[in-house]
Amino acid sequence: MNENKVLFNTGSLDELSEEIGKLTSNEDSKLKLTPDNADSGLAKLVLTLVELIRKLVEKQAMRRVDGGSLTEAEIERLGETLMKLELKMEELKKHFNLTDRDLNINLGPLGDLM
Amino acid sequence: MDMMIYSILSVKNNHEKLNTLLIAMKGISGADLYAVSLDEISAVVCDIKRADLIADKTNAIEYAGVIENLAQQFTLLPMRYGSLMESTDLINKMLERNYHEFQQNLQKVENKCEFGLKVFCDSEKLITELRAKSEADIKTPAKPAPEIKNSVYRDWVNKKLKEHRLEELLLTYVDSVIAEITGTLARLNAVTKFKKLSTETTIIDALFLLEKDKKDELIQTIEDLQNHYPRLNFVLTGSWPPYNFVETTIK
């Protein structure tokens, strides 16, 4: 970014540079589907969506727990389900050699997916 | 050969001024620029082969540079990079179909420009503070805590609940900063757009549309806000063409 476009800043511009860097070289967070990597590319795509939904479910569940509308037994069952889902996701990520960062796609100006 | 549209301009009776300006400028890859006009509005275009339309950094900077130069002289609506049409005749028809909507949008941004504000924070420090606050709140609950069974699942829920509460605290904090910014900018009649927590360090990503001559007042306002929130890092940029305040669907 042209220096004279920065109208006000008292600290360092490191964070801004880092963010611009992410926008211009977000190679790691791109889905690269080619004939040679169709399996792993598809796994990354599917697991990204599954992880997004899992996190949304988890967030909603925590809202309900925090709201106090669940009984102790329901919280216990919810904890068991969500924990098993989390462990299963870890297993799948390991199987396909993927990290949390791989599943957090950068959506450019919209920021990170998760 | 196709034509790429850079922007739609309100030229009114200044067609000559626009043509003079375009002669002195170049488009991406050194292409000549020219105007396709209908009454008071013009589309600034260049000829381009579809195969040469690469969305890379160099082209994006050159494309933005053209729009930036035009915006210094005219009120305009920037077009998305890669907006192609096949002939001047088709561009004319498009201008005709959308004339009313273009005029409305041009009036909305007339004599105004866009500014960007990013608010960064030392996220670790802020989270530590919020966590300390959260733990203090948990130690003094408003209502009696329910009997908690000791199980691995319950422990997992407690851990997640703690993270959830921390996120909520962070969101509440960010909302309070946004409310402060909005309140302070109200006197400048700025149109504002906010995004919260777009990355780990960017807690607020804001855009403002306001009159060009209020730039200095805006800078002063942001300086005051920075003094009010010393642990946050405010970065104000601009002025920019109104990239994020044009809402039109081209028919």
Partner-chain contact B226 A8, CB within 8 Å = yes
- Any chain A CB within 8 A of the CB of B226? yes
DSSP state of A3: G
A26-40, B89-103, B230-244: segment of lowest average pLDDT: A26-40
Q: Look at residue B146 in the predicted model and tell me its pLDDT.
A: 54
Partner-chain contact B146 A72, CB within 8 Å = yes
State pTM to two decimals.
Answer: 0.79
Residue to test with chain B: of A17, A75, A82, A104, most B Cβ within 10 A: A75
Backbone phi and psi for residue B147, each to the nearest 5 degrees, phi listed first: -65, 125
Question: What share of chain B has pLDDT > 70, as a percent?
Answer: 93
Q: Is residue A5 part of a domain?
A: no
CB nearest to B219's CB, from A1, A7, A22 = A7
Distance from A43 to chain B by nearest Cα, in Å?
A: 25
For A55, the domain range is 11-110
Q: Is residue A63 part of a domain?
A: yes
pLDDT digits (tens, 9 = 90+) for B64-78: 999 999 999 999 999
**Residues of A whose CB is below 8 A from B198:** 110-112
pLDDT digits (tens, 9 = 90+) for B96-153: 999 999 999 999 999 999 999 999 987 667 777 777 776 666 555 555 555 555 789 9
CB nearest to B149's CB, from A6, A72, A77 = A72
Q: Is residue A44 part of a domain?
A: yes
Cα-based distances in Å from B145 to A68, B69, B148, B155, B159: 10, 63, 8, 15, 16
Partner-chain contact B157 A16, CB within 8 Å = no
Residue to test with chain A: of B194, B233, B239, most A Cβ within 10 A: B233
ipTM beyond cut 0.85 = no
Q: Look at residue A30 in the predicted model and tell me its pLDDT.
A: 61
B143's torsion region: left (phi>0), alpha (psi -120 to 50) or beta? beta
